[in-house]
Each structure stands twice: as structure tokens, then as C-alpha cells.
Amino acid sequence: MQITVRLHASLKKYEPAGVKGGPIAVIVDDGATVADVLARLEIPLAHAKMIVSNNEHIDATAVLRDGQHVDLYPPMAGGAL
């Protein structure tokens, strides 16, 4: 099945050659999870702290569907204490 992934901020360094900020098509087996996609892209699990699909936060154990879009964000910092 094919999953579309968009990397944000510092995660863009994991984009495959030739992608340059666009969505990444990742082919995975049926029943694959977000963690499987991260492994395929060689992104350490700790580097993708916010995972969003269909305007909902999901975690790395979420099972994906064919054609699903996933946005990956690094840990965020800042704000008032």
C-alpha cells in the first residue's frame, strides 16, 4: 500500500534525494504502522514527536490505510514558563 508523508521543520533532512519539500510516497505492507514508515525513511522514533493524519493526532503504533496522508513534526520547544 502507498502512504503519503510530509516532513516538517528539522525532519526535512530525512527527505529522500530529489524530494525537496514535497510529499513522499512510501510503499509499505498492509497493516503497517507509522513506526514502520519511520523505519523505512530512517527517521528515529524520538525525532517524530507529533504525528498528524486527517487533522487528528495519532501515535507511532497507529495502523495505516492505503492512500493515507501523514504529517510528521519534530519535538517543539519554546513558549512561556
- Inside any domain, residue 80: no
pLDDT in tens, 25-35: 999 999 999 99
Please count the structural domains in the chain.
1
CATH code at position 54: 3.10.20.30
Q: Measured between alpha carbons, how far is 1 from 29 in angstroms, rounded to an integer? A: 6
- DSSP secondary structure string, 7-75? E-GGGGGGPPTT-TTS-EEEE--TT-BHHHHHHHTT--GGG--EEEETTEEE-TTPBP-TT-EEEEE--
Residue 30's domain comprises: 2-73
The terminus-to-terminus CA distance of the chain in angstroms comes to: 44
Q: Average pLDDT of 50-74?
A: 97
pLDDT of residue 78 exceeding 70, the answer is no
